[in-house]
Amino acid sequence: MPIAWKFFLLLALVVPSLLAVSWVGGTGMVEMKARLDDVYEDNLTSTRAIGSLSVALQQAEELSLGLIGDVDPASIARLRSELREDLFPEIARRLDDVRLVSGPSSSRDGLVARSLETAWREFAAFADSRGFLAATGGPSDEDATASSTVQRLSTSLRILNDQLAAQELQQAQASKEEAERTYAHSLSVLRMIVAIALIAGIGVTIWLIRSVVVRVKEYSGFATRVAAGELNTRTRPRGNDELTDLGWSLNEMVARGEGVRGYEVTQGEFTDAMQVSETEEESYGLLKRHIERSIPQSTVVVLNRNNSADRLEATTELSPESGLAERLAIAQPRDCLAVRLARPHDEVPGGGEEFVMLLPDTDRDTAVQVAERVRTAIGDLRVLEGDSSVSASFGIAVFPEDAPDAARLVRNADRALYRAKANGRNRVEVFTLDAAPEGEPPTQATSVSKDGTARAAT
């Protein structure tokens, strides 16, 4: 995963978490405010309706008791008019208001409101009765009974009204508790989101530290060692992002630097030795040993052009068993392309024929076994009427252990092939970070497995 995507992942966790916190907090506050507003409005309306009814019922009781035993006809007429024309319609309206705020008739408040209406109708019926009319017409024997009945009915109305007020208070308290529960729930969800976001943020941060910072420190230490001259060291790239590419690039850079330094050292030693050589034969010997040192397990014969004899001759020891001795006997200077072109020449471009082997879904050990079988089969071949044999060198690299992409896999397989040639040819070498080649390998044909192994052979 690219490094930028890792930081985008961190933002993808932080930003939605902040939005979720804002949304939950805002929604919870709005919901709680709406509930509290409902509680306030309902409680205010109920309090007003019940309070107004309570005042009207008290006035009706006082006027009714005032009519009983009153002897002044004018006062009796005034009180009757106030009771009948003012209070009775007022109480009817207040009862309608109470019925509205009490909700359905099947609810607790609705049942109390219906009982209150029934009690009021009983009070109004008594106010129209002959006993009450007789008691309000002046002193009579019905005064005590009428007063007792008015007080009893008024007490019943007052009890029902107080009961309704108490139930409304309970409902207001329940609504308040519901709003508090909503607030507590929103607060819990808010805390949970914050905790999850915090844990996720810490986890992603630790992951980024382990994925980025640790590798940056490793590469920094690696670069410090390389700068101090430790070109035989290698870093071990991990992951599959830009830092992984950097790790492989650093390894390739160090490998090239090690090859260049090795070449410069051997070339410098050779130059110094040539400068102090005293004879031509000694110079030829130094050249022979320098080339054999540069190409392990090789046998070198240095040729010289004898213009007077118009032939090529060996200036270093030539084994009698070598086929070169027979060829030199009839060779002319221009038979050597190096002489003809005035530059080094390989008999076959690139040092040999090359081919590619692709082994999908193959592990390292199996790839080595396959390469060994192919190498053995090639070694059994005979050419030029059986006088010459063919050998093959193999370099093996595995994806993704040895390289994160096709280009590096090809180069690493190529390096393993170069090491096989440098170690004597006719062998199989597996790419490793620790066993870096001494110099830059020649360009070799390699193959990349889609999901397994890369091979190089020559």
**What would the pLDDT profile of 289-336 be if each residue is shown by its tens digit?**
888 777 766 778 888 777 666 777 778 887 777 667 777 777 766 666
Q: CA 179, 185, 191 angle in degrees (round to 5)? A: 135
pTM over 0.75: no
Torsion angles phi and psi, residue 429, rounded to 5 = -125, 140
Question: Residue 277 and residue 290: Cα distance in Å, rounded?
Answer: 14
Q: Is 384 exposed, middle or buried (0-12, 13-18, 19+ CB in 10 A)?
A: exposed
Alpha helix ranges (H) inside 277-335: 280-294, 323-330
Q: Is 73 helix (H, G, I), strand (E, B) or coil?
A: helix
Q: Which of 176, 167, 152, 183 is nearest to 28 (CA)?
A: 183
C-beta atoms surrounding 98 within 10 Å: 22
Query: Helices 3-67 & 108-127, crossing angle to 10 degrees?
Result: 20
Tokens of 39: 């509680």
Question: Residue 438 and residue 421: Cα distance in Å, rounded?
Answer: 12
The number of helix segments (H) and strand segments (E) in the chain equals 13, 8
Question: Residue 47 and residue 45: Cα distance in Å, rounded?
Answer: 5
Question: Residue 64 and residue 52: Cα distance in Å, rounded?
Answer: 18
Question: Residue 16 and residue 415: Cα distance in Å, rounded?
Answer: 48
What pLDDT is stored for residue 385 in this prediction? Answer: 56
Judge contact between 398 and 453, C-beta under 8 A.
Answer: yes
What pLDDT is stored for residue 428 in this prediction? Answer: 92
Residue 440 DSSP label: P
Q: Is 76 helix (H, G, I), strand (E, B) or coil?
A: helix
In which residue ranges of the chain is pLDDT below 70?
1-11, 13-14, 17, 21, 24-26, 28-29, 32, 36, 39-40, 69, 71, 137-142, 296-297, 307-309, 322-323, 332-354, 382-388, 434-458
Task: Judge if the upstream peptide bond of residue 400 is cis by omega within 30 degrees of 0.
Answer: yes
Question: Residue 123 and residue 154: Cα distance in Å, rounded?
Answer: 8
Q: Where are the domains of the chain?
A: 3-201, 245-350
Name the CATH topology of 3-201. Answer: f41 fragment of flagellin, N-terminal domain (1.20.1330)
What pLDDT is stored for residue 450 in this prediction? Answer: 36
Q: Is 437 helix (H, G, I), strand (E, B) or coil?
A: coil
Tokens of 281: 């034969």
Torsion angles phi and psi, residue 402, rounded to 5 = -100, -15
What pLDDT is stored for residue 443 in this prediction? Answer: 34
Strands 394-398 and 388-389: what pairing?
unpaired
Question: Residue 193 and residue 25: Cα distance in Å, rounded?
Answer: 11
What pLDDT is stored for residue 444 in this prediction? Answer: 36
Torsion angles phi and psi, residue 61, rounded to 5 = -65, -45
What pLDDT is stored for residue 434 in this prediction? Answer: 61
Residue 129 DSSP label: S
Question: Residue 119 and residue 114: Cα distance in Å, rounded?
Answer: 9
Judge contact between 112 and 102, C-beta under 8 A.
Answer: yes
